[in-house]
Amino acid sequence: MRNILFLIALLLNLTLVSCKEKEPVPPPISEKMMPDHPRILWGSDEEQAIKTSISVSGSWQKKVHDFISTECDKFMSLPPKERVLTGVRLLEVSREMKRRIIYLSYMYRVTGQEKYKDRAVKEINAACRFSDWNPSHFLDVAEMSLGIGIGYDWLYNNLPDSTRTKIVSTIRTKGIDPSYNSSYNSVFLNSTSNWNLVCHSGIMTAAVATLEKESDCQKVISRATTYMPTALAAYGPDGTYPEGYGYWIYGTSFAVVGIATLQHLYGNKYDAQLLTTYFMKTPYYYENMIGSSGGCYSYGDTPLNTTVSPPMFWFAKKLNDPTLLWIEKNYLNATISNLDAFIPMLLIWASNFDTNSITEPTKKSFFGTGEAPIALMRTSWNYVDAISMAFKGGTMTTSHSHMDVGSFLFDVGATCWAMDYGADDYTKLEANGNPWDMSQSSFRWTVFRYNNLAHNTLAFDGIKQIVSAKATITKNSDQDSNFMYAVADLSPVFNGQVVSAQRGVAIVNSKYGLIRDEIVNLPSKSTILRWNMLTKGVPTIQQSSQSILLTQGNQQLTLKVASPNTGVTMKTWSTVAPNSYEASNSGTYLVGFEIVLPAGSTTNVNVQLVPAGNELFVENDDKLLSLWGQ
């Protein structure tokens, strides 16, 4: 009996061990010390190159430096941040402290002025006094750890021993140690989302900065380099990023800082694990995610603003491709207003780039598959006269997704005509429900901005898209075609609502946009097709011509239903959200039309988006999607 009980206990123990996440075992390593400080991203021997570049009057490098200097001067009169949560997050505080510490530490290194070091230390000391860095929302910990770690490393040679000791102890107890607590790390440890890249890179960079024995660092490095590839795989196979433009900047920035930190210490030792082919393709996706209007294609929970992107400078240098900075050059030539903490990295990664030598990209399109299939097309990289279009497939189960499958965005020159709202306020939504439950009947899809009735896609009888389904882009054009197009099978996301739904979008002869839908209805019932487009253009319905004239300032565009030529009711819908906790949508309009689809019918719908002055170039546009490209 005793032996049987022993065997049962042994089997239970083995089962528990096998179910537990396996912690990577770092390779044996000697107790040798890490390289001297500063060791994060740039050493003392690299300071002079930056000092030289920022001394050139009129250079973009000096412009960036002067921006950082001005921001640091603002910090001097501000009180240090306090541990005040917004909802469940300390993130706003962590980000601002990270920004202040990195800017101030950079300024001290390039100017030697004590005021910058003293103020950076004041911020660090304030953070060290916090009871914790809010590990229940671990992004807060990761960002704080990275900021303080960089400040510690960049200021190390001029810090008293007592300050060094306090910082190392605090990063250990409030940053590194909580990252090994399963109550906190399960959300990021092997995640496919931006949390993986932010948390692993943040903690690893802080560890490299503050731990002097390489054996201590190697444990954290080994964990990060084991699990980061899971999140990097989300960029596959073409470089697309499922969470969209805004989260690309967030997750990719941290990934690049972590990778660059390892490269600065170890050369290409970890490149095989981290510099995957698809990750090195992703800057081309990002560059094409900016429309000719200068706005981003804001699918999912993406903020609408665009600004200079530090990781693009690292990619441009790594790939030796200055064309990746074509759009970044425009930001540098304008007034710099980006409050990203990583702005000093522009000078670390690309201080030798001359913006005058940056030429425009040769390709005018990007087609990506993966979790969020996307087609990005433009007629030119010249903002003045270009037409650009984006088209999205995908699913709603990926992090930060909306019911925007089949949605398109459309710009003409500097004007965005077909837009997307992007994210709503997380804190307000969380106070009224759970916006992170992606299941079909969850609170998330009651939010006006998040379901398909507020996106540039279709709805049948007002029903929401099927969350668990996925739409693929089935074919697309060559990038040099006069008929630039992409076609997607949307049938899965409307399963049970219609038999099939195919959508194609195109830029025709570089003059106008075309959206074609081919719908086969259910045999048992008639169905109301709703066709949406969200815009800032003030609409004037012209029912007799089945069109809507949109006006923005002195710019106009006509949305015309070319076919069918009967049974189309042109419409607008309110953009007022149903709940007070949702964002205001003032200044926007939902335009489109409805068609009653008879039971068992096949209906082909052609919609033309024609900029004023291009009417003479409009064609018949009645070719079946199966014949597009032939």
In this prediction, residues 156-173 reach a mean pLDDT of 97
Extract the tokens encoding 585: 């949508």
CA–CA separation, 342 vs 98, rounded Å?
A: 9
Quote the pLDDT of residue 22.
54
> Rounded to whole angstroms, how far apart are CA atoms 333 and 329?
6
Q: What average pLDDT does the segment 21-48 reach?
A: 81
For 572-588, write each residue's pLDDT tens digit.
Answer: 999 999 999 999 999 99
Q: pLDDT at residue 509 above 50? A: yes
CA angle at 281 for the pair 275 and 284, rounded to the nearest 5°: 140
Residue 185 pLDDT grade (very low, low, confident, very high; cuts 50, 70, 90): very high
Confidence of residue 8 (pLDDT cuts 50, 70, 90): very low
Question: What is the pLDDT confidence band of residue 30, given thresholds at 50, 70 and 90?
Answer: low
**pLDDT tens track for 359-398:** 999 999 999 999 999 999 999 998 778 999 999 999 999 9
Asked if the model's pLDDT at residue 567 lies above 70, the reply is yes
Q: Which helix (DSSP H) or strand (DSSP E) does residue 519 occupy?
A: strand 512-520
3-state helix, strand, coil split of the chain in percent (to 5) is 40, 20, 40
pLDDT band at 9 (very low <50, low <70, confident <90, very high): very low
What share of the chain has pLDDT > 90, as a percent?
89
Find out whether 592 and 453 touch, Cβ atoms under 8 Å.
Answer: no
Break the chain into its structural domains and give their ranges.
79-187, 365-627
Band of the pLDDT at 178, cuts 50, 70, 90?
very high
pLDDT at 18: 37
Tokens of 276: 């995957």
Kindly report, residue by residue over 418-453, the tens digit of the pLDDT: 999 999 999 999 999 999 999 999 999 999 999 999
- What pLDDT is recorded for position 27? 58
Alpha-carbon distance 576 to 573, whole Å? 9
The whole-number average pLDDT for the span 185-203 is 97
Q: What is the pLDDT of residue 626?
A: 97
Structure tokens at 508: 């025709």
Helix (H) or strand (E) holding 535: strand 527-535
What pLDDT sits at residue 23? 62
> Angle, nearest 10°, between helix axes 194-210 and 138-155?
30
- Residue 87, helix vs strand vs coil: coil
Question: How far, in Å, are 91, 309, 315, 425 from residue 283 at the CA level?
Answer: 26, 10, 7, 28
Give the list of residues 6+ apart from residue 532 with CB closer than 8 angstroms, or none: 452, 453, 454, 455, 456, 457, 458, 459, 573, 590, 591, 592
Indicate if the pLDDT at residue 11 is higher than 50: no
Q: Which residue has the higher pLDDT, 234 or 307?
A: 234
**3 state DSSP class of 139:** helix
What average pLDDT does the segment 105-132 reach?
98
Judged by DSSP in three states, 596 sits in: strand
487 DSSP β-pair partners: 475, 504
Report percent pLDDT > 70 for the chain. Answer: 95
Nearest-CA neighbor of 472 among 331, 363, 369?
A: 369
Select from 25, 29, 105 the least CA-distant residue to 266. 29
The helix or strand, by DSSP H or E, that contains position 547, with its residue range, turns out to be: strand 547-552
For residue 260, the SS3 value is helix
Name, of 57-61, 213-217, 554-558, the range with top average pLDDT. 554-558
- Report how far residue 368's alpha carbon sits from residue 165's, in angstroms, rounded to the nearest whole number: 49
Q: What is residue 4's predicted lDDT score, i.e. its pLDDT?
A: 40
Contact 214, 175 (CB under 8 A): no
Q: Which CATH class is domain 365-627?
A: mainly beta
Length of the chain, in residues: 630
For residue 38, is the peptide bond before it cis, meaning its omega torsion is within 30 degrees of 0? yes
Could you give the strand order of the β-sheet that contains 387-392, starting from the edge strand earlier in sequence? 365-368, 374-378, 387-392, 408-412, 415-418
Max distance between CA atoms of the chain, in angstroms, equals 92
From the list 449, 441, 463, the residue with the least C-alpha distance to 419 is 449
If you average pLDDT over residues 294-318, what whole number do you get? 91
- The reported pLDDT for the residue numbered 427 is 96
Measured between alpha carbons, how far is 467 from 405 in angstroms, rounded to an integer? 10
> pLDDT tier at 337 (50, 70, 90 boundaries)?
confident
One-letter amino acid at 393 equals: G
Average pLDDT score over the chain: 93
- Higher per-residue confidence, 8 vs 310: 310
| In the predicted structure, residue 538 carries a pLDDT above the cut 50 | yes
What one-character DSSP code corresponds to residue 34?
A: P
Assess whether pLDDT exceeds 80 at residue 3: no
For residue 203, is pLDDT > 70? yes
Per DSSP, the three-state class of 187 is coil
Query: What average pLDDT score do residues 536-564 get?
Result: 98
Q: What is the pLDDT of residues 394-407, one digit of tens each?
A: 999 999 999 999 99
**How do residues 227-267 score in pLDDT, each as one tens digit?**
999 999 999 999 999 999 999 999 999 999 999 999 999 99
